[in-house]
Amino acid sequence: MVSKRKRPSRDDYTLTEQEKIEEGVFEKRTMMRMRKFFTRNTISKLKFIIAKGKEADVYLADHGSSVPEEYVAVKIFRLETSSFEKRTDYIYGDPRFSRIKSGIYGVVSEWCKKEYSNLKIAEAAYVHSPKPYMFSGNILAMEFIGDADGEPSPTLKSAGAGDPASALNSILEDMKKLYQRDLVHGDISEYNILMKDDVPYIIDFGQAVVTDHPKATEFLRRDVSVILSYFRKRYGIEKDAEETFVYLTS
């Protein structure tokens, strides 16, 4: 996340990001895809970056007429990144995505489509996660998790949990709901969970796989181990990993 102390004024940042778009700083195909989000009234203005990652940047945007919420989170996957080459196991083993166009653009576009599809599954399962609005190419628009002033919610890692036991139970229940819809997140951690009003919201669903994926069980066991380890080390909450795994898959 961008530090508040380092963040320039909102007006200056908005102007800078708008100038980037107008000057064509974004890759040409990204610019072409971005226009769809305006013409379909999903967003009305792209404002500034609220999160930076190895694979994508997330922008805050003002909503368009087709979205009831005031803000929209716009995730733009980088086309120049090579990190996707290390994550092909999450795509090629997924029976939903058996035909991928060659080249980095094809892989990144498929990853974006995959995250959108996974978020739709999470929404249908009533999991605490961002609602997906639309995707095109390497751009995904989804629900903004944050406050009314456009400040994004902090991660579990940075904010902690006001009620640790309740937060852990909520996360595990959401993991169980996903599994019941034949989906495994595959990268659950304190970094991929946002805390809004003491409620944990799971984010970053690009790597999530269906339970038919050959490594789905391995990924789920790893998710269980990581999240239980965090709550044990930070809050002293003890839960047996194997019992938790059995509960999630029962």
**Of 204, 212, 223, 240, which one is the catalytic site residue?**
204
- Whether 239 and 216 have beta carbons less than 8 Å apart is answered as no
Q: For residue 241, which phi and psi values (nearest 5 degrees)?
A: -65, -40
In 32-109, DSSP assigns E strands to: 43-52, 56-63, 71-77
Helix, strand, coil % in the chain, rounded to nearest 5: 40, 20, 40
Active site (annotated) includes residue 204: yes
- Which member of 149, 187, 197, 223 is catalytic? 187
Distance CA 47, CA 179 (A): 36
Asked whether 81 and 62 are in contact (CB, 8 A), the reply is no
Asked about 182 being catalytic, the answer comes back as no
Give the Cα separation of 16 and 21 in Å (integer): 9
Q: Which residues carry out catalysis?
A: 187, 204
